[in-house]
């Protein structure tokens, strides 16, 4: 059996990759994927704790997070498309004004 600390270490690594990605990436789609990465890193640790405690609550929580992530992906991608249509770019640094 894989010990808990491995899961947690993997989760931490994934989360950190996500955070760093959000901070350094300019492409909005990469940024978006980094956010998803952070969500899934958290999901991983939740699942791990759920298994450890043999308690199904953690898994339920993961389902909720996934549902929210799906909704977020739908809205987020729609925003990205709208952004691209109006500015012809996916670079977040260039979209620094609310008005066109």
Partner 1 sequence: MLKWIVLAPLIGAIINGLFGRRFLAVFGQRATEKLVGFIACASVGVSTVLAFMVFFGQLWHKQPDADGVRRILDHLFTWLKVGSFQADFAYLLDPLSGVYILFITGVGLLIHIYATGYMHGDPGYYRFFCYLNLFMFMMLTLVLGDNLLLLFVGWEGVGLCSYLLIGYYIKWDVAGSAAKKAFVMNRIGDFGFMIATFLVFTNFHTISFVTKYINGVEVSSFLAQAAASPTVAVGTLTAIALLFFVGATGKSAQIPLFTWLPDAMAGPTPVSALIHAATMVTAGVYLVARCSPVFVKAPTAMAVVAVIGAATAIFAATIGIAQNDIKKVLAYSTVSQLGYMFLACGVGAFVAGIFHVMTHAFFKALLFLGSGSVIHGMSDEQDMRRMGGLRKYLPITYSTMFVGWLAISGFPLLSGFFSKDEILWRTWSTGSLPNNWGRALWVVAAITAVITAVYMTRLMVMTFWGGERFTGARNDHHAGAGHASSGHKDDHGHHGRPHESGWLMTMPLIILAMLSIAGGYVGVPAALGGSNQFEHFLEPAIAKVEPATATHTGAELAPVMAQAESHGAGDVAQASHEGGHDVQTERLFTGISSALALLGLAFGLVFFRRNPLWRAPKLLEDKYRVDEFYDATVVGPVENLSRDGLWKVVDVKIIDGFVNGVARLFAALAGALRYTQTGFARNYAAVILLGAIIVIGYFIVSFFGIRINI
* Residue ranges that bind partner 1, judged by CB under 8 A: 19, 22-26, 31, 92-93, 95-98
Beta carbon nearer to partner 1, 21 or 51: 21
User: Residue 73 has which token pair?
Assistant: 């992906």
Backbone angles phi, psi at 27, to 5 degrees: -75, 130
Are 58 and 50 in contact by the 8 Å Cβ rule? The answer is yes
Nearer to partner 1 among residue 88 and residue 93 (C-beta) = 93
- Considering only CA atoms, which of 26, 13, 37 is closest in space to residue 92? 26
Write down the least CB distance from residue 1 to partner 1, Å. Answer: 29
Minimum CB separation of residue 21 from partner 1 in Å reads: 10
């Amino acid at each position: 059996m894989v010990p808990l600390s491995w899961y947690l270490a993997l989760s931490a690594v994934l989360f950190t990759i996500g955070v760093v990605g959000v901070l350094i990436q300019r492409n909005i789609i990469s940024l978006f994927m980094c956010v998803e990465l952070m969500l899934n890193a958290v999901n991983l640790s939740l699942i791990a704790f759920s298994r450890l405690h043999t308690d199904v609550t953690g898994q339920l929580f993961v389902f909720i997070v996934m549902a929210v992530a799906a909704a977020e992906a739908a809205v987020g991608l729609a925003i990205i498309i709208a952004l691209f249509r109006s500015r012809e770019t996916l670079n977040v640094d260039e979209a620094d004004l609310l008005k066109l």
